Amino acid sequence: MPCEVMAACVQSCCAKSAMIKSLAFDATRSLIHGTGLCQLMVDLSLVDEVWCRIQEEARAVAEEEPLLHKLYDDLVLSHETLESALSANLASKLAVPALLSTSVLRDIFSTVLGNDSEIRRAIRVDLHAARDRDPACDKMVHCFLYYKGFMALQVHRVAHRLWIEGRRSVALLLQSRVSEVFAVDIHPGARIGAGVLLDHATGLVIGETAVVGDDVSFLHGVTLGGTGKEIGDRHPKIGDGVLIGAGTQVLGNVRIGEGAKIGAGSVVLKPVPPRTTAVGNPARLIGGNEKPARLGSRAGLTMDHTSWSACTT
């Protein structure tokens, strides 16, 4: 179902999404939602709530600021799917005149996104992460169009897929262009989960064998690097829900436990237990190694950079 047809009803229907989601559907069933409100048969497998929300926000911005009407029309409203819009936007930013055309890049992005449902899911979870965790992000469409951390991460997802498929020259090309354009350098071999926020993102470096879990939040100037010329598995492993503050360096094949917090400017050379806070150079655990103060919530979700303990257990 084209999003244009749904747009008028999504504003009201998605506002009632809690009710929709509470109902069980299978692939062959549909729902008539609201007599007189939305006389449409809605197959939930075709409803892309995130994309419809982005389009509705784009329409609102275009109406509020006519100078931006063509921009939002070209980048959002003229596309039928989120993947089409994202592919075109990324391609236009990374193209090199006379050397690397927009159309070639768009085809690369479109092909990978069209064939990888896990990336498509991760894109949407990343958008929710930015909207929920970044107080500066009041519209999802702004993240989609303007946030270089979000864009760099999506290019990495495509590059990683190419890397594991053996198309390493193309993957490294994408890494290089992202580094040049967005000042974010993520090796295509790195594995990154969903719901990841790269807040500001400038100066972020992630090495080849790094692994990043779900719901992780990074600030700018973070390095997940090695400690020298060692080969093999040599980069950090970041658990789910971790918060890594600005200017932090995590070096070597060390594990940062689930829900932990790394304070801004820290240099981490040793493992950090789950739901604890590490600060300083070299980093030390708040409360000491024997009985570190415990965080009550995953720091990557709360985005609390200042308090070092929500509870002590």
Residue 312 has pLDDT above 90, yes or no: no
Q: Predicted confidence band at 308 (pLDDT cuts at 50, 70, 90)?
A: low
One domain, residues 135 and 209: no
CA distances from 208 to 112, 145, 170, 192 (A): 20, 27, 16, 11
The pLDDT of residue 223 is: 98
Contact of 215 with 195, CB cutoff 8 Å: yes
Q: Predicted confidence band at 95 (pLDDT cuts at 50, 70, 90)?
A: very high
One domain, residues 61 and 175: yes
One domain, residues 166 and 239: no
One domain, residues 167 and 107: yes
Q: Which of 183, 212, 236 is the last residue of a domain?
A: 183
The pLDDT of residue 305 is: 87
* CATH classification at residue 296: 2.160.10.10
DSSP 295: P
* CATH classification at residue 62: 1.10.3130.10
Distance CA 70, CA 68 (A): 6
User: pLDDT digit string (tens) for 34-48?
Assistant: 333 333 333 334 568
Q: In terms of C-beta density within 10 A (0-12 exposed, 13-18 middle, 19 or more buried), how is residue 230 classed?
A: exposed
Contact of 269 with 285, CB cutoff 8 Å: no
One domain, residues 71 and 172: yes
Residue span of the structural domain in which 266 resides:
190-312
Instruction: Give the mean pLDDT of 83-91.
Output: 97
SS3 category, 302: helix
The pLDDT of residue 277 is: 96
Residue among 266, 254, 270 nearest 308 (CA) = 266
Residue 18 has pLDDT above 90, yes or no: no
Residue 14 within any structural domain of the chain: no
User: pLDDT digit string (tens) for 234-285?
Assistant: 999 999 999 999 999 999 999 999 999 999 999 999 999 999 999 999 999 9
Contact of 49 with 31, CB cutoff 8 Å: no
Instruction: Lay out the sheet containing 277-279: strands in order across.
Output: 197-198, 217-218, 243-244, 261-262, 277-279, 284-285
Residue 144 within any structural domain of the chain: yes
User: pLDDT digit string (tens) for 287-296?
Assistant: 888 889 999 8
One domain, residues 248 and 227: yes
Q: Which of 183, 218, 244 is the last residue of a domain?
A: 183
pTM: 0.84
Residue 216 has pLDDT above 60, yes or no: yes
Number of structural domains in the chain = 2
